[in-house]
Amino acid sequence: MSKEPSTTQRNPIPLANWTEEKFEDRFSFGLRSGELLHRSQSEYQEITIVNTEFGETLLLDGAMMTASAVEHYYHEMLVHPALTTTPCIKKVLVIGGGDGGTVREVLRYPEVEQVTLVELDCEVVFACRKHLRSMAVPWDDDRLAVVYADGAEFVRNGATSEYDVILVDGADPVGPAAVLFSSGFYADCKRRLKPFGTLASQTESPIVMREDFLRIVRTMREHFGRALPVFGPMPIYPGGSWSWTIATDREQWDHTMDFNNRRMVLAEQTCKYYNRYIHRAAFAMPNDLMRELG
């Protein structure tokens, strides 16, 4: 059990009106800001949480990760297209996602018996639990276990055929997070999935990070019989349009599914963005990407 780190907490102070992120010296994105809620330097990164136009906003090393007013676009699309179409969802593994939004969406389903969240940086979880309370993450749910470890190593060293669903809520494929988009990592994930299981991962912007997106989907297809991207908005990420990819070996996988799916009905009762119509439309692929991916 990791102990909560002692960090120097600052009293909320006004910022200079804007929180700005620069992406690869190609794009700049800013939000009008209010109070600084948290800033600390962990072993791995600088963690900042600030009030912005989109609510409490988490930045890691200056990059916007999540914001309470818009995070549902991302987390609902990572989780629900996979969980509504997987035969069994009793045991779920989440890699990354220390803000808790992904596990919150998973825990909406009574069928889920166990969720394991593997997050490298415990300080991210501690900061988000304290300052992103409006995200309403059920951290005390008995079904949730939080492990502070390297996600790739966790998957590599584990037993086979253990999980029904693996969700990868990783950062961009650069630096330490690059391994979460590698061929070896997907091979390890497949080994840890039960028969008919599902892997879902965020797969970057199909516009701003087009080559990364194409490479990641192709790599997933090297290991799974089917890997289909879904598309949706994410206002605080470069380009504003994002992708997630769902991979499985189920030959008869109906990704558009029955509109009377009982899990879909459950999800629609609580989700802000995701519903049966969004689900079906999200699998529609633009012509240029279709030509590239087939």
* Predicted pLDDT of residue 16: 57
- Res. 24: pLDDT tops 70: yes
* Predicted pLDDT of residue 10: 46
| Residue 192 resides in a domain | yes
- Clarify whether residues 199 and 233 are in a common domain: yes
Segment 245-270 mean pLDDT:
83
Q: Which domain holds residue 51?
A: 18-67
- Clarify whether residues 28 and 126 are in a common domain: no
CATH number at residue 217: 3.40.50.150
| Residue 13 resides in a domain | no
| Residue 82 resides in a domain | yes
Segment 183-207 mean pLDDT:
96
Average pLDDT, the chain: 91
CB contact set of 52 (below 8 Å; sequence gap of 6+): 19, 31, 32, 33, 34, 67
Which pLDDT band, with edges at 50, 70 and 90, does 115 fall under?
A: very high
- Res. 31: pLDDT tops 60: yes
- Res. 132: pLDDT tops 80: yes
Lowest mean pLDDT across 11-20, 67-76, 131-140, 222-231: 11-20
Which pLDDT band, with edges at 50, 70 and 90, does 259 fall under?
A: low
141 noted as active-site residue: no
Segment 223-238 mean pLDDT:
95
| Residue 9 resides in a domain | no
Lowest mean pLDDT across 30-39, 73-82, 251-260: 251-260
Top pLDDT among 2 and 151 is at 151
Lowest mean pLDDT across 31-40, 88-97, 162-171, 249-258: 249-258
* Predicted pLDDT of residue 22: 77
Instruction: Give me Rg for the CA atoms of the chain.
Output: 18
Amino acid making up residue 167: L
With a pLDDT cut of 70, the percent of the chain lying above it is: 93
- Res. 41: pLDDT tops 50: yes
- Clarify whether residues 91 and 63 are in a common domain: no
- Clarify whether residues 178 and 43 are in a common domain: no
Segment 210-215 mean pLDDT:
96
* Predicted pLDDT of residue 72: 98
- Clarify whether residues 123 and 240 are in a common domain: yes
- Res. 6: pLDDT tops 80: no
| Residue 79 resides in a domain | yes
Pick the last residue of a domain from 67, 102, 125: 67
* Predicted pLDDT of residue 126: 98
Classify 187 as helix, strand or coil.
helix
Which pLDDT band, with edges at 50, 70 and 90, does 123 fall under?
A: very high
- Clarify whether residues 54 and 78 are in a common domain: no
Classify 56 as helix, strand or coil.
strand
CATH number at residue 43: 2.30.140.10
- Clarify whether residues 41 and 156 are in a common domain: no
Q: Identify the active-site residue in 99, 164, 169, 172.
A: 169
pLDDT tens digits, residue range 149-193? 999 999 999 878 899 999 999 887 777 778 999 999 999 999 999
Residue whose structure tokens are 């590599």: 156
* Predicted pLDDT of residue 29: 80
- For 280, counting Cβ atoms within 10 Å of its Cβ (0-12 exposed, 13-18 middle, 19+ buried), the class is middle
- Clarify whether residues 96 and 50 are in a common domain: no
pTM: 0.92
Q: Assess contact for 152 and 82: CB atoms under 8 A.
A: no
Asked whether the CA dihedral 49, 241, 257, 82 is positive or negative, the reply is: negative
* Predicted pLDDT of residue 254: 73
Q: Assess contact for 101 and 74: CB atoms under 8 A.
A: yes
- Clarify whether residues 63 and 92 are in a common domain: no
